[in-house]
A and B are shown apart, each in its own frame.
Chain A
Amino acid sequence: MDSPKPATVFLIDDDDSVRRALARLILSAGYQVRAFASAREFLDTGPYDDGPACLVLDVRMPGLSGLDLQRELEAAKVSHPIIFITGYGDVPTSVKAMKSGAVDFIPKPVQDEDLLRSIEQAVTRAARETAERDEIETLQGRADRLTPREREVMALVARGLLNKQIAFELGTSEKTVKVHRARVMQKMQVQSLAELVRVTDKIGHPSEPVS
Chain B
Amino acid sequence: MTYDGYKGYHEASIGVATDGDALRPGYARWILLMRNRIVKVAVCALCWISLATATDLNAADTGKALRVLILSDQSSVMPGVSTIQRNAESVIRAARQGRVEFNAEYLDIGRYPQEKLSPLFLNYVREKYASHPPDLIVALCTASFDLLAEIAKTDFPDVPIVLMGLTEQEVSLEKFGPNVTGFIQRADMFGTMELILKLQPEVTRIVVIGGAAPFDQVYLNRVREDARSLGSRVAVEYWTDRSMADLEKDVASLDRKTAVFFTTIFRDSTGDTYVPVEAAQRIVERASVPVYGFFEGIVRVGAVGGSVIQFETIGRKAGEVAVRVVQGGSVKSMPIELHKDAVPVFNWVALHRWGMDENRLPPGSVMEFRTPSVWEKYRWFVLAGLAIVAIQTALIIGLIIQRSRLRRTEMNLRESRNVMELASGAGHLGLWVRDLRTGEVWVNHPLRSILGFSEEEVFRIEDLYSRIHPGDRDRILSVFESGAKDGELFEFECRLSLPDGAERWVLVKGNAVRDSEDRPIRTQGVVVDKTAIKQAEMKADRQREEISHIQRISTMGELAASLAHELNQPLTAILSNAQAAQRFLVANPPDLKTVQEVLRDIIADDIRASEVIRRLRALVRKDVREYADLDLADIIREVVQLIHSDAVLHNVSISLLCSPAAHRVWGDKVQLSQVVLNLLLNAIDALKEGPATDRRIVVRIEPEGDSMVRVAVNDRGNGMPEDKLEKIFEPFYTTKSDGMGMGLTISRSIIEAHGGSLWAENNPDRGATVNFTVRVDRRRNGRVGSKPAPLLERSHYLGQP
Q: A residues near B, CB below 8 A?
A: 14-15, 17-18, 20-22, 24-25, 27-29, 60-63, 65, 85, 87-90, 108-112, 115
Contact indicator A15/B573 (Cβ below 8 Å): yes
19 A-B residue pairs with CB within 8 Å: A14-B648, A15-B569, A17-B601, A17-B605, A18-B569, A20-B573, A21-B573, A21-B576, A21-B598, A25-B580, A27-B580, A28-B583, A87-B565, A88-B561, A109-B568, A109-B574, A109-B576, A110-B576, A112-B580
Q: Which 9 residue pairs across A and B have the least CB separation, nearest first?
A: A28-B583, A21-B576, A112-B579, A24-B580, A109-B575, A108-B572, A21-B573, A109-B572, A17-B573
- Tell me if B382 counts as interface (CB < 8 A to partner A): no
Which DSSP category, helix, strand, loop or mixed, fits chain B's interface? helix
Whole-angstrom CA separation of A21 from B568 in the bound complex: 13
Q: Which residue on chain B has the smallest CB distance to residue A18?
A: B573
Given contacts A21-B574, A110-B572, contact A60 B565 (CB under 8 A): yes
B13 CB to nearest chain A CB (Å): 162
Number of residues of chain B lying within 8 A (CB) of chain A: 29
Contacts of A108 in B (CB 8 A): 568-569, 571-572
Contact indicator A18/B572 (Cβ below 8 Å): yes
- Tell me if B649 counts as interface (CB < 8 A to partner A): yes
B547 CB to nearest chain A CB (Å): 29
Which residues of B in the span 608-663 have a Cβ within 8 Å of any Cβ on A? 608, 645, 648-649, 651, 653
Contact indicator B576/A25 (Cβ below 8 Å): yes
- Tell me if B258 counts as interface (CB < 8 A to partner A): no
B603 CB to nearest chain A CB (Å): 11
A15 CB to nearest chain B CB (Å): 5
Which residues of B in the span 540-580 have a Cβ within 8 Å of any Cβ on A? 561, 564-565, 568-577, 579-580
Contacts of A24 in B (CB 8 A): 576-577, 580, 584, 594, 598
Contact indicator A63/B651 (Cβ below 8 Å): yes
Contact indicator A87/B577 (Cβ below 8 Å): no
Q: B residues near A, CB below 8 A?
A: 561, 564-565, 568-577, 579-580, 583-584, 587, 594, 598, 601, 604-605, 608, 645, 648-649, 651, 653
Q: Which residue on chain B has the smallest CB distance to residue A63?
A: B651
Given contacts A15-B569, A110-B572, contact A21 B580 (CB under 8 A): yes
Contact indicator A21/B569 (Cβ below 8 Å): no
Contact indicator B576/A18 (Cβ below 8 Å): yes
Q: Which residue on chain A has the smallest CB distance to residue B651?
A: A62
For the A-B complex, the count of residue pairs with Cβ-Cβ distances under 8 Å equals 88
Contacts of A62 in B (CB 8 A): 648, 651, 653
Contacts of A61 in B (CB 8 A): 648
Contact indicator B570/A17 (Cβ below 8 Å): yes
Whole-angstrom CA separation of A160 from B447 in the bound complex: 117
Contacts of B651 in A (CB 8 A): 62-63, 65
Contact indicator A109/B571 (Cβ below 8 Å): yes
Contact indicator B573/A88 (Cβ below 8 Å): no
Contact indicator A87/B561 (Cβ below 8 Å): yes
Whole-angstrom CA separation of A88 from B569 in the bound complex: 10
Whole-angstrom CA separation of A15 from B574 in the bound complex: 13
Contact indicator A28/B580 (Cβ below 8 Å): yes
Contacts of B580 in A (CB 8 A): 21, 24-25, 27-28, 112
Q: Which residue on chain A has the smallest CB distance to residue B594?
A: A24
Whole-angstrom CA separation of A36 from B230 in the bound complex: 176
Contacts of A115 in B (CB 8 A): 576
Contact indicator B574/A25 (Cβ below 8 Å): no
Q: Which residue on chain A has the smallest CB distance to residue B653?
A: A62
Q: Which residue on chain B has the smallest CB distance to residue A14?
A: B648
Whole-angstrom CA separation of A22 from B583 in the bound complex: 13
A119 CB to nearest chain B CB (Å): 13
A19 CB to nearest chain B CB (Å): 8
B155 CB to nearest chain A CB (Å): 175
Contacts of B564 in A (CB 8 A): 87-89
A160 CB to nearest chain B CB (Å): 55
Contacts of B569 in A (CB 8 A): 15, 17-18, 108
Q: Which residue on chain B has the smallest CB distance to residue A24?
A: B580
Contacts of B572 in A (CB 8 A): 18, 21-22, 85, 108-110
Q: Which residue on chain A has the smallest CB distance to residue B570?
A: A17
Partner of B584, one of A22, A28, A90, A111: A28
Other A-B pairs beyond A17-B570, A87-B568, A109-B572, 16, CB < 8 Å: A17-B601, A17-B605, A21-B573, A21-B575, A24-B576, A24-B577, A25-B576, A25-B577, A60-B565, A60-B645, A88-B561, A90-B561, A109-B574, A110-B576, A111-B579, A112-B579
Q: Which residue on chain B has the smallest CB distance to residue A88?
A: B564
Q: Which residue on chain A has the smallest CB distance to residue B581?
A: A24
Contacts of A17 in B (CB 8 A): 569-570, 573, 601, 604-605, 608
Whole-angstrom CA separation of A32 from B570 in the bound complex: 24
A164 CB to nearest chain B CB (Å): 66
Contacts of A20 in B (CB 8 A): 573, 577, 601
Whole-angstrom CA separation of A60 from B576 in the bound complex: 18
Contact indicator A60/B579 (Cβ below 8 Å): no
Whole-angstrom CA separation of A143 from B575 in the bound complex: 52
Q: Which residue on chain A has the smallest CB distance to residue B591?
A: A28
Most chain B beta carbons < 10 A, residue from A28, A62, A88: A28
Contacts of B579 in A (CB 8 A): 25, 111-112
Contact indicator A21/B577 (Cβ below 8 Å): yes
Whole-angstrom CA separation of A132 from B564 in the bound complex: 42
Whole-angstrom CA separation of A29 from B568 in the bound complex: 23
